């Protein structure tokens, strides 16, 4: 079970890193497509923000369902699909159904992990504001380290565009959520197999 959790978490981490690289490359090489995706994320943010919720929850929705996080989710899903396709092509089975199944499974678990991460962050904001502040300070420290990489010109701007303390914290909680999903899925699979 520990190896499955490690594998799942490292795959998600790789997906998020690849997503950030894809965001920076898209911003650098295809700014029109990047702006189109940003506009779509803005529309999604407006739709989510229009859901009638009490003010305290509406503020959390505005913080955690912002357009930059939706854009990160879009690129993470694209990166995970690419990793699933590459994994299927490198594996023994090269059927189209296997590639489609792996891609669908990967996308659904990433989306579920993202939703769980947002729920965990929201719960933390409502119940343990001091801990959330401490975690944001840690994420800010990581952001400062990444922002001060020896890069020049547009690349430095690209890193600053795609890396923020909120995204780093969201990545951390998404990895925790994905590990929790792996534990539940592995336990469920083991229980079902032991019955057979």
How would residue 91 be classed by pLDDT, with cut points 50, 70 and 90? low
Write out pLDDT tens, residues 98-131: 665 666 677 677 778 888 888 888 888 788 878 8
How would residue 137 be classed by pLDDT, with cut points 50, 70 and 90? confident
Tell me the CA distances in angstroms from 157 to 20, 77, 146, 162, 196, one per residue in order. 13, 23, 11, 9, 56
Mean of per-residue pLDDT scores for the chain: 76
Tokens read off for 123: 């719960």
Q: What is the pLDDT of residue 79?
A: 85
Is the pLDDT at 96 greater than 60, yes or no?
Answer: no
What per-residue string of b and e applies to 157-193 under the rule 16 or more CB within 10 Å gives b?
A: ebbebbbbbbbbbbbbbbbebbbebbeeebeeeeeee
pTM score, whole prediction: 0.56
Write out pLDDT tens, residues 151-178: 776 676 667 666 777 778 888 888 888 8
User: Rounded mean pLDDT of 61-82?
Assistant: 78
Where are the domains positioned within the chain? Answer: 2-191
């Amino acid at each position: 079970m520990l190896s499955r959790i490690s594998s799942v978490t490292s795959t998600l981490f790789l997906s998020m890193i690849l997503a950030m690289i894809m965001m920076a490359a898209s911003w650098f090489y295809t700014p029109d497509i990047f702006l189109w995706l940003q506009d779509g994320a803005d529309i999604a943010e407006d739709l989510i923000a229009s859901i009638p919720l009490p003010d305290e929850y509406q503020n959390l929705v505005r913080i955690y369902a912002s357009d930059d996080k939706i854009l990160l989710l879009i690129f993470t899903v694209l990166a995970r699909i690419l990793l699933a396709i590459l994994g299927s092509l490198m594996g023994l089975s090269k059927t189209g159904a296997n590639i489609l199944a792996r891609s669908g499974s990967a996308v659904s678990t990433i989306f579920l992990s993202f939703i769980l991460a947002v729920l965990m962050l929201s719960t933390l904001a409502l119940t343990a504001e001091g801990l959330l502040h401490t975690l944001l300070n840690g994420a800010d420290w990581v952001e400062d380290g990444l922002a001060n990489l020896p890069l020049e010109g547009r690349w430095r701007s690209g890193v600053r565009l795609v890396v923020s303390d909120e995204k780093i914290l969201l990545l951390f909680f998404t990895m925790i959520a994905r590990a929790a999903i792996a534990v539940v899925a592995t336990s469920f699979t083991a229980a079902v197999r032991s019955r057979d």
